[in-house]
Amino acid sequence: MNFLTIPGLASSGPKHWQTIWEKQYPYLFERVEQDNWDLPVCTAWVEKLQNYVEQLTQPTVLVAHSMGCLTVAHWSQQYYSPLVKGALLVAPADAEYSERLNFVEGFNPIPAKPLPFDSVVVASTNDIYATIERSEYFANTWGSTFLNIGAKGHINASSGFGEWKEGKVILNQFVNMLIEPLQVQCA
């Protein structure tokens, strides 16, 4: 299984768990690079994600953070790839209700339809970009498993997350869940 990371605003700096995972496992992780990390435009971000998905050659899990989660949700309404097996959606930003995101373009309304693949939404009770209730709402409308990890901020470097070992455990459990049904079918 390969992984495609989709960062949020300002990308993920050197101390962000997405960047650390990419450096630790460069043969498994690839990052979607946006042209403008500071002024997100939904159509541009979705098209950039699609460009990367079109190049996939292996089963892949999307690993998104913040605005990257919304990018995945919008992408899934327009595109599909049988190679995208699932998504880990961490700290989805609430572009509809967060005053901190009033400059993002085209992300509203946030899709409220199930994603065409398995997914997990990981959220914090004190995220400055989305309430825990909104994060749970996203999980429910996207058909995702919801995981509340407590008061962990925006689950990024600024919140004290470096390597985020708990996140690796969550990702491994998710991947094992995705692989298990395949093994049963082949037996």
- CB contact set of 16 (below 8 Å; sequence gap of 6+): 7, 65, 156, 157, 161
Number of domains in the chain: 1
Would you state the pLDDT for residue 181?
57
- CB contact set of 34 (below 8 Å; sequence gap of 6+): 7, 11, 40, 44, 45, 48
pTM, to two decimals: 0.93
pLDDT digits (tens, 9 = 90+) for 128-143: 999 999 999 999 999 9
Would you state the pLDDT for residue 186?
47
The residue segments making up the domain with residue 135 are 2-186
> Percent of the chain beyond pLDDT 90?
83
Backbone angles phi, psi at 34, to 5 degrees: -90, 155
Backbone angles phi, psi at 155, to 5 degrees: 55, 55
- CB contact set of 110 (below 8 Å; sequence gap of 6+): 70, 73, 94, 95, 96, 138
Nearest partner of 129 among 92, 90, 88, judged by Cα: 92
Contact 131, 157 (CB under 8 A): no
Contact 1, 26 (CB under 8 A): no
Spans of the chain below 70 pLDDT: 180-187
User: Domain containing 64 — which CATH number?
Assistant: 3.40.50.1820
- CB contact set of 78 (below 8 Å; sequence gap of 6+): 46, 50
Name the β-bridge partners of 120: 88, 145
Q: Is the dihedral of CA 46, 28, 83, 180 positive or negative?
A: negative
What letter represents residue 114's amino acid?
Answer: P
